[in-house]
Chain A
Amino acid sequence: MKTAKRVPESSPHASTPSAQEDDHPRIILLGQPNSGKSTIFNQVAGYRSITTNFPGATVEFTNSHISIDGQTCDLIDLPGVYSLTALDNAARETKRYLLEEPVSLIINVIDASLLCRSLELTLQIIEMGKPMVLCLNMIDEAERKGLTIDEARLSELLGVPVISTNAALGVRIHELFSAAFSALRSPVQPRALPMSRHVEQAVQSLTGHLLECPAVPHISPRLLAIKLLEDDPYFTVWLDHDQNGISRQVKKMQKTLEEAHGQPADSVISAERHALSMHLFEECTTLSHPQDTWHSWRVHLDRAVLHPFWGYIIMAAVLFAFFNLIFEFGALLEQPILAFFARSELWLTTLLPAGSLAFSLTRGVLQGLAGGTAIVLPYLIPFLIGMSLIEDIGYLPRIAFLMDNFMHRLGLHGTSVVPGILGYGCSVPAVMATRILPSTRDRFIAAVAAILVPCSARMTIILGLVGYYLGGTAALFVYILNLVVITLVGTVLARLMPEESPGMVLVIPSYKKPSVKTVLSKTWLRSKDFVIFAWPILIAGSLVLSLVEVFGWDQIITAVLSPLLKLLDLPPAVGMTLIFGILRKELSMIMLIQALGTTDVASVMSSTQIFVFTIFVVFYFPCLATFGILGREVGWPKAIAASLLTFSLATVLGVAARFIGPFFF
């Protein structure tokens, strides 16, 4: 397959300068969502890419330099795509990377248990004309479904090496990469399969026109011809600069196809691809009865989990148990660790004279460590383990299914619940997860909802302050209030931005047995950010606060914030903690202890004040990292609007809590 070399400078599809094109070949892992690309990546590169049992979990690239048997390459894990026609931002990014960056070889990872559907993407990748290796992953799942795949036959039909793997257990991964390196040394052109005569004629005729055109983008003309016939906007943009009558040819061919098949041209081509996949599937597979125990187990579980009544009861029970366990476990550890740091502080007074600079600084470091270790980690670690389990088992998409009806009341659909659930971990990946939503308006509303969800840092404040001092019921109330506020904000935003949501199309993956190694690796990867990056900030923040106190600068900051603090009826010392909370929300909690000069918050703040402080911190300005990512994902004006909205909400709710609190605490 020939590719035209001339690329107009103004073309959106011009290749980017190959600054990254070094001596190492670049291998891409490409496949449909949830086919196990990240699992393969982690098998060879160490655990660096978050894997989940949810379609569309990977929304950004992860790359690594790997070496196998003395051969090296750059391996890139791209977000999953169902087709080369991108419908959301994550898929658009993958497509841009594939078509505009230098790619040496593609490893097309497919879920073998969904062979027929997955081959539809394979056929499109083949049309790109790049060297490729086909990886039939989750082969165990296919066997359980009663599917036996003839690798050799499939390889013969497609003209590419085919390797079956079970990436979760690392089975045949080495063989897969050996095949990839071998294909790099002696590239074999994959075989583009012809469509039915009528459609093939249209494709070939348009390809011929494109080959004669001097300004064709730097991609395979056959792929371009097919995508133009399909009306893919990514490619049709190029037609805006067309001066060679290609648009006329495209329209003519589309009309011919529509008249002959009675369907739009994109449907005709899609049906052709489907028929070709079915043909390949039938040529290389044999079907037997699925393993009964597995099949019936899954069916029975789904019948209960997705039941219109019991499904919600199960969901409520799972989430209740989840948060309750975190609270119980966290509280169990928090007390002895806090006691240890309190003893250390006492011991410190015997070593250094109280009030000296050395004493203040050492106490600052100690309190920073106390906050990071005793208050955050006991809640963060169990939360991340629980979250990984829910994700890996495959319960998350089932929650999205159950919540679809409710989310519609907010003007969104079920998939939008995913950023919300991820938001309970960290707002940054939650905002990034909005990329899986197809409309800009849905992404904005889901992002606002996601930043309002209390992340694990805010969870430590809710559990460590309200839960610890006011009881579990009060902590639960904060969560319920948060859900009510999110619902109201979502509803209002949906009314202000009326637009028909495209609706939910969600592939529900099979249940999977979570692996201890993956759960722990994922927990480590997610908590590493806190331990490696946040601890130094916490300690430095604590030190700065000590210095501020020693030199009396806190008076200025407190004076600036005093109107807000008076409005919320909070002690003046609290003002500083709110400033630090903008850096990281955990800091609010740790700084509070530092600012008040005691780990026993109840001795200096009333129950209502603890409640007001928590409410304010939970809702006010998202942390800087979240703000940055929000600006990148939805644009700076919307990010600023969202931040102002959250600040106003926090103030209104804080004032309300100040007046209502005394009736309850």
Chain B
Amino acid sequence: MNFRFLRCARKPEASCAARLSELHTGQHGRILEIRGGWHLRQSLNQVGIHIDDVFSVERGAHLGGPILIQINSAQIALGHGMGQKIIVCLDENR
């Protein structure tokens, strides 16, 4: 699990970058950036979503609905708007 401590060398503009809300069921990735203010950052950090954490999508967003991810051993549901503010790096190899 040590890889979680490694800083992601890739920038949000990198080719792997996508919005979390765009991901499909079964895809994996790493959190690159949280584009929001203090409240958004705190509400995500508190439930265990931090920059550089790896996650998998358990249910992708359908028709503007919420997204369900597995992160740090927990299942977290995020509203579509939230998902749009989280920039992730897709892991194509998994």
The judgment on whether A and B are partners is yes
Q: Write the residues of chain A forming the contact surface with B, with a CB cutoff of 8 angstroms.
A: 82-83, 85, 87, 113-114, 116-117, 120, 145, 231, 263-264, 266-267, 270-271, 274-275, 278, 282, 302, 306-308, 397, 400-401, 404-405, 408, 413-414, 438, 500-508
- The answer, among A85, A306, A404, for a CB contact under 8 Å with B79, is A404
Q: Are A85 and B42 in contact (CB under 8 A)?
A: yes
**B77 cross-chain contacts in A, Cβ below 8 A:** 397, 400-401, 404, 414, 504-508
* Given A87-B42, A504-B82, A116:B62 Cβ within 8 A: no
**Beta-carbon contact of A270 and B76 below 8 Å:** no
Q: Let me know if A82 and B75 touch, CB within 8 A.
A: no
* CB-contact partner of B65 in A116, A308, A506, under 8 A: A308
For B66, the chain A residues whose CB sits under 8 A away are 401, 404-405, 414, 504
Q: Which B residues are in CB contact (< 8 Å) with A307?
A: 59
Q: Which residues of A contact B1 (CB under 8 A)?
A: 278, 282
A82-B47, A408-B64 known; 20 new pairs, CB 8 Å cut-off, are A83-B46, A116-B73, A145-B73, A264-B41, A266-B38, A266-B41, A274-B50, A306-B58, A308-B59, A405-B64, A405-B65, A414-B66, A503-B40, A504-B78, A505-B44, A505-B47, A505-B77, A507-B47, A507-B75, A508-B75
Of B2, B43, B50, B51, the contact of A502 (CB 8 Å cutoff): B43
In whole angstroms, what is the CA distance A274 to B68 when docked? Answer: 21
**Contact B43–A508 (Cβ < 8 Å):** no
The CA-CA distance from A270 to B77 in the complex, in Å, is: 21
Smallest CB separation, B68 vs chain A (Å): 6
Residues of A within 8 A of B40 (CB): 502-503
Of A113, A408, A500, A505, which is within 8 A of B43 by CB? A505
Q: Within 8 Å CB of B5, what residues of A?
A: 275, 278
Contacts of B63 in A (CB 8 A): 308, 405
22 contacts between A and B (CB under 8 A): A83-B46, A85-B42, A114-B74, A145-B73, A231-B38, A264-B41, A266-B41, A267-B34, A270-B50, A302-B58, A306-B59, A306-B68, A308-B62, A401-B66, A404-B77, A414-B77, A438-B39, A502-B40, A503-B78, A504-B79, A505-B79, A506-B76
Do B68 and A508 touch across chains, with their CB atoms under 8 A apart? yes
B41 surroundings in chain A (CB, below 8 A): 264, 266-267, 270
A117, B78: Cβ atoms under 8 Å? no
B38 / chain A contacts, CB cutoff of 8 Å = 231, 264, 266
Assess whether B80 is interfacial by the CB under 8 Å rule: yes
The complex places the Cα of A348 from the Cα of B62 at a distance, in Å, of 64
Q: Are A266 and B42 in contact (CB under 8 A)?
A: yes
Q: Decide: A117 near B47, CB < 8 A? Known: A231-B38, A504-B79, A507-B75.
A: yes
User: What are the residues of chain A within 8 A of B80 when measuring CB–CB?
Assistant: 404-405, 408, 503
A505:B76 contact, CB within 8 angstroms = yes
Q: Say yes or no: is B4 at the interface (Cβ < 8 Å to chain A).
A: yes
In the assembled complex, the Cα of A285 lies from the Cα of B28 at a distance in Å of 25
Report A-chain residues with C-beta under 8 Å of the C-beta of B47: 82, 117, 505, 507
Q: In B15-69, which residues have CB < 8 Å from any A CB?
A: 34, 38-48, 50-51, 58-59, 62-66, 68
A120 to B78, CA, bound (A): 20
Residue numbers in B under 8 Å from A282 (CB-CB): 1-2
B50 to nearest A CB, angstroms?
A: 5
Closest 7 CB pairs of A and B: A82-B46, A504-B79, A117-B48, A503-B79, A405-B65, A508-B75, A308-B62
Residues of A within 8 A of B76 (CB): 505-508
Chain B, Cβ-Cβ closest to A269: B45
B contact residues around A408 at 8 Å (CB)? 64, 79-80
B51 touches A271 (CB 8 A): yes
- Complex: chain A residue closest to B48, CB-CB: A117
Q: Is the CB of B81 within 8 A of A507?
A: no
Chain B residue numbers with a CB within 8 Å of A404 are: 65-66, 77, 79-80
How many whole Å from B84's CB to the nearest CB in chain A? 9
Bound-state CA distance A408–B43 (Å) is 19
* Chain B residues, Cβ within 8 Å of A263: 51
CA distance A282 to B3 in the complex (A): 12
**In the complex, what's the smallest C-beta–C-beta distance from A478 to chain B, in angstroms?**
29
Contact A502 B39 (CB under 8 A): yes
CA distance A508 to B5 in the complex (A): 25
The reply to whether B50 and A271 form a contact with Cβ atoms under 8 Å apart is: yes
Contact of A274 among B45, B79, B81 (CB under 8 A): B45
Closest to A400 in B: B77
Contact of B46 among A87, A405, A508 (CB under 8 A): A87
